[in-house]
């Protein structure tokens, strides 16, 4: 039991703790970055970071993960649940693109059975079309393994 003289101090500490927690005093280190607008990206193909120009072998299925970064260089993986990445191949004969279930920044790409050159375009948005930010197209070559 709390004595009558200590009760105001306990109530004061409880209120102070509640206010600190409500105002972000909990120090959540996993909080998403405040700026969710990507200015750059990188691609990871089958777990390996890649840079443009991109090349993929014919008749393959690869997983491509997009890593988005804001102007401060902060990784935007923390906001993936509320945002979407987009991956478009041009011409479409480069391959087919399918979003990985429950991963808004990952795609399965089944490459063309024949060699073809074109571009890939990465985009970003708040819904599945991911059409709010579009990056410049990057070169993509689908080649026959052993001939590149």
Secondary structure of 64-79 as H, E, C letters: EEEEEECCCCCEHHHH
DSSP string, 21-65: HHTTTT--TTPPPS----SEEEEEETTEEE-SSEEEETT-EEEEE
- The predicted-structure confidence for 99-134, as pLDDT tens digits, reads as follows 999 898 999 999 999 999 999 999 998 888 888 899
Domain-located, residue 112:
yes
Domain-located, residue 115:
yes
Domain-located, residue 107:
yes
What's the domain count of the chain?
Answer: 1
- The predicted-structure confidence for 58-111, as pLDDT tens digits, reads as follows 999 999 999 999 999 988 888 877 888 999 999 999 999 999 998 989 999 999
Q: What is the pTM of this model?
A: 0.74
Domain-located, residue 2:
no
CATH code of the domain in which 98 resides? 2.60.40.10
Number of neighbouring beta carbons within 10 Å of residue 100: 13
């Amino acid at each position: 039991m709390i004595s009558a003289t200590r009760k105001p101090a306990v109530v004061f500490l409880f209120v102070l703790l509640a206010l600190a927690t409500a105002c972000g005093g909990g120090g959540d280190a996993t909080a998403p970055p405040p700026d969710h607008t990507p200015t750059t990206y990188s691609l990871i193909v089958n777990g390996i970071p890649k840079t443009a120009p991109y090349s993929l072998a014919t008749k393959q299925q690869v997983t491509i993960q997009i890593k988005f970064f804001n102007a401060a260089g902060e990784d935007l993986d923390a906001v993936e649940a509320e945002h979407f990445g987009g991956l478009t191949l041009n011409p479409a004969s480069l391959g087919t693109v399918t979003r990985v279930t429950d991963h808004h920044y990952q795609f399965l790409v089944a490459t063309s059975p024949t060699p073809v050159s074109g571009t890939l375009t990465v985009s970003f948005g708040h819904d599945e079309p991911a059409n709010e930010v579009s990056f410049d197209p990057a070169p993509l070559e689908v080649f026959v393994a052993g001939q590149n």
